[in-house]
Amino acid sequence: MKNAWAQIDVQLKRRYDLIPNLVETVKGYKIHERETMEEVTKARNLAQQLSGGSVGARSKAETELSSALARLLVVVENYPDLKANQNFLALQEELASTENKISFSRQFYNDSVLRLNNQTQMFPSNMVASMTGFRTEEFFEVTVTEERKAPKVSFA
């Protein structure tokens, strides 16, 4: 389970490193979208500060960061020149790849937590778990209900 959590950390660090480059690329195109870019930067910094925090706090911060990134990518849709920029396209692809890796890492972590929690709660392994100090752990969950919904796609 700790290894699974470390894998999430690796991917989140990768995302934290990509975000400033993505924001700077967008800044170069449109200055009046400053509020959205500031939200992304603020959410990134908060998530990065909570890197040693609890799973629940970290999960909430990462959900907020994902929402801010989604808003940034919606803003980009308004600028065809930016969408065609090779630097932006490369960063966007790298971010999409990282988001997929984060998703897989979260699933692996949650599977590991499920196995641990089952072992600490079911007889007879719960007896050994209680004597040796093993306890149940938190799942890394989506806390914003909007993120559970399927995205709406519009070509209008």
CATH number of domain containing 31: 1.20.1440.20
Residue type, 150: A
- Does residue 15 lie in a domain region? yes
Minimum mean pLDDT range among 9-13, 77-81, 142-146, 148-152: 148-152
- Does residue 144 lie in a domain region? yes
Which tokens in the block code for residue 83?
């969408």
Q: What is the model's pLDDT at position 26?
A: 75
Q: Which residue reads 């849709």 in tokens?
A: 77
Cβ-Cβ contacts under 8 Å for 134 (sequence gap 6 or more): 116, 119, 120, 128
Distances in whole angstroms, Cα of residue 33 to Cα of each of 43, 44, 84: 16, 17, 18
Q: Which domain holds residue 32?
A: 2-148
* Residue pLDDT, tens place only, 52-97: 778 888 888 888 888 888 888 887 777 777 767 777 788 888 888 8
- Does residue 153 lie in a domain region? no
The number of folded domains in the chain is 1
Residue type, 3: N
Q: What is the model's pLDDT at position 154?
A: 42
- Does residue 155 lie in a domain region? no
- Does residue 83 lie in a domain region? yes
* Residue pLDDT, tens place only, 11-56: 888 888 888 888 887 776 666 567 788 888 899 899 888 877 788 8
Residue 108 to residue 103: CA distance in whole angstroms: 9
Q: What band does 151 get if pLDDT is binned at 50, 70 and 90?
A: very low
